Amino acid sequence: MKLLRYGPPGQEKPGLVDSDGRIRSLAGVIDDLAGAALGPDSLARLAELDAGSLDPVDEPVRLGPCVAGVGKFLCIGLNYADHAAESGMEVPAEPVVFMKATSAIVGPNDDVEIPRRSEKTDWEVELGVVIGSTAKYVSEEEALDHVAGYCVVNDLSEREFQLERLGQWVKGKSCDTFAPIGPYLVTRDEAPDPQNLGLWLEVDGHRYQDGSTSTMVFGVAKLVSYLSQFMSLQPGDILSTGTPPGVGLGQKPQVYLKPGQQMRLGIEGLGEQTQRTVAAP
């Protein structure tokens, strides 16, 4: 299934995409795409619905973040060897883990704000993993059983804030609008091999990133298992799994985002995002 949320910011309703590509409302079926609604029993019930019997949604309509009530937004750095090389960093022996503030989450096509005093706002297309059931001390073999599905993430970064200022990466990753997610939460059955997905990103029509999840240093099952050794992963938590090469930081000379540009990005089978960059108010 392709599940989504639609409507004005803060007033989104849950929906799904039917076999003809139309949005159908799940209002009254589930409260939202959050918490227990992402669990295996709930997803199984949704899969049994006759989509044609659900109310159609008038389109076009704004798409909101594909998951509500995100508790933790966990990110993995340097998880593609060629991206580590372009960043001038070593391939890590263990996953590099950092957090992104959930206040950065926006819809897949919402405007992205270039922060005040930013000189180095950068893009990163990433595979997002949405947790569906609590994972605590799980093995790699069990790990994917705890995944509800996958989504596209643009893990935007302000490189000066992230790398040139004191402290942790989180402040360069958490500016408002720095986490567009969606358009869909695609359930795990529709993406049975998360390590074989093409992903790409363009700025103003120029393709900077064009990679595959097959080149991850640590795969999805490894990451879910690894993180669950340090903290429980809860339904609705999102794990952003790293980016392939082609970020602005790695260009020669470096290239960064300015107001008035357009990003397009997507992952095979998971949909596309389009964002316009604007100056932060």
Which residues, 6 or more positions from 135, have their beta carbon under 8 angstroms from its beta carbon? 143, 146, 224, 227, 228, 232, 233
Global pTM reads 0.96
pLDDT tens string, the chain, 281 residues long: the values are 999 999 999 999 999 999 999 999 999 999 999 999 999 999 999 999 999 999 999 999 999 999 999 999 999 998 998 777 777 878 889 999 999 999 999 999 999 999 999 999 999 999 999 999 999 999 999 999 999 999 999 999 999 999 899 888 999 999 999 999 999 999 999 999 999 999 999 999 999 999 999 999 999 999 999 999 999 999 999 999 999 999 999 999 999 999 999 999 999 999 999 999 999 99
**Which residues are registered as beta bridge partners of 129?**
150, 239
Domains in the chain, please, with CATH? 69-279 (3.90.850.10)
